[in-house]
Structures are given as C-alpha cells and as structure tokens.
C-alpha cells in the first residue's frame, strides 16, 4: 500500500496555516517569565469531520526538568455510516511514550515526543460485525508559550504511522482560572483533508 512522505507540500501548507499564528503570537506578545507546565492532565469532548464524536483523556508527567512521560486515550463513534444499513462505528486509540522539552525564551518551550499508538475499530451493521486492531507510532514536535500567567498558546506537528502515514497539525489555547485549573480549545487538520476540534478541562500540577 502506498504511503505518504514524511513531509509533503501539503504538510507544509498545513504547518503554515495552523501553526504560523501560534508562532507569530508567541514572538510578538510581551514576555511573561514563566515556562509552561509539563505536568498536566486533560479531558474533554472531541469531534472529527462533523461525523465522529466522543471523548479524550491525556496527560504528561515530568520525570526531570527536560524529560517527561506522556499518554492518552480517546474514543469516538459514528451511528449513521453511509456505507452500511443501520451501521455504527467506534474507534478508540491508546498512546503512551516519552518526550523532551527545552525552554527557548523565559515563557516559551519547544518539545519533541515519540509515542506507541494502538488503534481499535469496531463496525456493527445489519449484515456483519467486525473488530480490528492496528498499532504504530506518533512522532511529534511542538511549541508552547505562556502569553500571560493564565493564558497559553500551543501548536504541534505530528507524524502518525500505522498502516499508512499522515501529518496532523494542531493549534490551541489554554485559559486558566486558578493556579492549576483551566480549560482548553484546539483545532486540528491533516493532509487527508480531515479536520476536527477538542474542548475540555485542563489541570496542571
């Protein structure tokens, strides 16, 4: 099966469209002297292509100043598949791995991480049921910047390899209401003309 290159012209367009505003804001805003936290837990609602919706849980825990472990689980479903009569689909993804982060200014950090990815797909229609599992990896790089003591902007470019490869760009914002508790909102798009968003609660420690 033919796979996509690691970084295509369309990947570059995704990078400039989604991540450039994050980089621009991080550079142009006045400096707030605090690094983003790599000790956090988040959970929320996700939607993909206006078809699949569900929930996501994810987190990072620092093991040193510059290294951390990361993991997450998401589950989305679709109750009206066009290709099946009375068909439903449920997709779940588990991921875990390690990452490293470095401060490049007083308030901005870049990071890279490598994760193992396990995907499970369940199809159920009037004619048959099917369960399948596949695994692969996710290699990601990103930037996070504290614009103020309560507002963070972030962007990430991820290369996913399971059966085929895809490049996913994500841009988002976290707004904290206390020293630890806040909310997040993010938008993602990939080089298969698919997009989605997530909103939820963020807790840093």
Which residues have CB under 8 Å from 172's CB, separation 6+? 153, 154, 155, 184, 185, 186, 187, 198
User: What's this model's pTM, rounded to 2 decimal places?
Assistant: 0.83
- Torsion, Cα of 92, 96, 99, 105 (10° steps): 40
Which residues have CB under 8 Å from 25's CB, separation 6+? 145, 147, 153
pLDDT at 16 over 70: no
75 forms beta bridges with 55, 92
pLDDT tens for 81-138 read: 665 556 788 999 999 999 999 999 999 999 999 999 999 999 887 776 788 899 999 9
Q: Would you state the pLDDT for residue 81?
A: 64
% pLDDT > 90, the chain: 67
Q: What is the CATH number of domain 9-204?
A: 2.40.160.20
Q: How many other β-carbons are positioned within 10 Å of the β-carbon of residue 18?
A: 22
Mean pLDDT across the stretch 13-41? 67
Alpha helix (H) residue ranges in the chain: 9-14, 20-28
pLDDT at 65 over 60: yes
Look at the alpha carbons of 30, 141, 202, 67 in this order and tell me if their dihedral is positive or negative.
negative
162 forms beta bridges with none
């Amino acid at each position: 099966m033919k796979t996509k290159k690691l970084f295509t012209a369309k990947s570059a367009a995704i990078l400039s469209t989604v991540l450039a505003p994050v980089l621009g804001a991080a550079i142009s805003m006045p400096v707030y002297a605090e690094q983003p936290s790599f000790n956090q837990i988040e959970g929320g609602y996700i939607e993909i292509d206006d078809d699949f919706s569900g929930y996501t849980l994810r987190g990072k825990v620092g093991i040193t100043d510059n290294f951390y472990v990361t993991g997450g689980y998401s589950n989305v479903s679709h109750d009206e598949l066009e290709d099946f009569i009375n068909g439903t689909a449920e997709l779940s993804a588990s991921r875990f791995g390690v990452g490293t982060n470095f401060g490049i200014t007083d308030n901005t950090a870049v990071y890279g991480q490598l994760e193992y990815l396990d995907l499970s797909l369940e199809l159920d229609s009037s004619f048959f049921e099917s369960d399948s599992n596949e695994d692969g990896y996710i290699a990601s790089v990103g930037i996070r910047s504290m614009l103020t003591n309560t507002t963070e902007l972030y962007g990430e470019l991820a290369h996913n390899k399971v059966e085929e490869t895809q490049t996913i760009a994500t841009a988002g914002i976290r707004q904290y209401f206390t020293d630890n508790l806040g909310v997040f909102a993010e938008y993602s798009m990939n080089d298969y003309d698919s997009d989605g968003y997530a909103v939820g609660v963020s807790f840093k420690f």
